């Protein structure tokens, strides 16, 4: 069976801390890192038969999630590309940060440039695509707005090639303030559970917007969301302090950030697919319409029966992304739950 390989990239810009769930070996490894450096983990899928395949697809998860969210999608896409699914710093297998104020999009984007530089050094990237869910889409907008070439990126890092196709999964430059308030109610809570099954049940309650999933699908989505706790049971995989920057956000600062994100969006030259959950409280219909009319003029596919954010696990959602990345322009405007459940669309 096609399985991912875990790798790491060293990233400048912020000092590392070992995750709270780390064992002695992990603490020792983190302690040996230079000041101002942290490691980002990433999962690589490749079923092409070419370890240096020139087509790279980067899939980046949402705010409190991790790279294994994309297992179903990555397994499919890895038939024709090298698929890279990072654990954004502070999540999954990546280091945590000493200073929680580093948990913001500019640092995440710089980390992605370091990742792309490492991948490009391993094997030249000729075609670069990006799939971003929620926060991963915000990072993707920043990356896609950059010009490729020396000096074009942050911290002296450059984008090796332009982003060709960009999938924005239920996110845009304008984020509804009520959705941020909802997320803030649970983000950063240090929850501990007796076992995986009870963790899955608890996470399902706060993730109703993800849409319908079978028990098996949901358990698979939950496995990488928890880590064994030194005190027994399991805990959430992420640093609770990722909530610190968000807690400092105000409607005024959010509006200022929105203006910058629209500037990024309008500079994007890539073809863009916008996936919107029809019941999303984060991406409004008005924002989706604006994204179709300005900048790269995204094609929007709305998923019925789903809110924020589609998991890209069910077959029809996977097929939608695959077809777009393979150049199919005959994409639906809406998909019913029945169509999303089908193996082809």
What pLDDT score does 121 carry? 96
What pLDDT score does 176 carry? 94
pLDDT score of 152 more than 80: no
> What is the β-pairing status of strands 271-277 and 55-60?
unpaired
Q: Identify the CA nearest to 109 among candidates 82, 74, 145, 73.
A: 145
Interval 139-150 mean pLDDT: 87
Single pTM value for the model: 0.96
Contacts of 33 (CB under 8 A, 6+ apart): 10, 15, 16, 39, 95
CA distances from 266 to 41, 128, 129, 176, 260 (A): 31, 19, 18, 20, 10
pLDDT, one tens digit per residue, over 203-259 is 998 898 999 999 999 999 999 999 998 889 999 999 999 999 999 999 999 999 999
pLDDT, one tens digit per residue, over 23-71 is 999 999 999 999 999 999 999 999 999 999 999 999 999 999 999 999 9
């Amino acid at each position: 069976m096609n399985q991912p390989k875990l790798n790491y990239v060293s990233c400048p810009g912020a000092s590392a801390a070992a995750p709270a769930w780390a064992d002695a070996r992990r603490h020792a490894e983190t302690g040996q890192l230079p000041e101002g450096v942290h490691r980002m983990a990433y999962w690589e899928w490749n079923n092409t038969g070419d370890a240096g395949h020139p087509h790279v697809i980067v899939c980046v998860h949402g705010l409190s999630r991790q790279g294994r969210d994309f297992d179903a999608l990555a397994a499919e896409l890895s038939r024709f590309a090298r698929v890279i699914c990072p654990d954004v710093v502070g999540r999954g297998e990546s280091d945590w940060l000493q200073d929680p104020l580093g948990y913001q999009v500019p640092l995440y984007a710089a980390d992605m440039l370091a990742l792309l530089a490492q991948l490009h050094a391993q094997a030249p990237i000729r075609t670069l695509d990006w799939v971003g869910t929620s926060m991963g889409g915000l990072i993707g907008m920043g990356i896609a707005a950059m010009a490729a070439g020396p000096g074009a990126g942050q911290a002296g890092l450059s984008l090796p090639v332009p982003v060709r196709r960009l999938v924005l999964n239920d996110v845009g430059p304008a984020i509804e303030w009520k959705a941020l308030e909802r997320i803030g109610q649970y983000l950063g809570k240090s929850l501990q559970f007796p076992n995986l099954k009870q963790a899955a049940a608890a996470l399902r309650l706060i993730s109703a917007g993800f849409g319908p999933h079978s028990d098996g699908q949901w358990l698979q989505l939950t496995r990488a969301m928890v880590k064994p706790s030194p005190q027994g049971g399991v805990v959430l995989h992420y640093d609770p302090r990722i909530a610190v920057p968000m807690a400092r956000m105000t409607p005024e600062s959010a509006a200022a950030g929105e203006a910058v994100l629209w500037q990024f969006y309008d500079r994007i030259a890539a073809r863009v697919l916008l996936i919107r959950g029809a019941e999303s409280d984060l991406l409004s219909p008005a924002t989706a319409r604006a994204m179709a009319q300005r900048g790269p003029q995204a094609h929007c596919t709305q998923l019925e029966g789903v809110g924020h954010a589609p998991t890209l696990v069910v077959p029809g959602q996977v097929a939608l992304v695959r077809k777009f990345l393979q150049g199919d322009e005959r994409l639906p405007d809406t998909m019913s739950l029945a169509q999303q459940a089908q193996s082809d669309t």
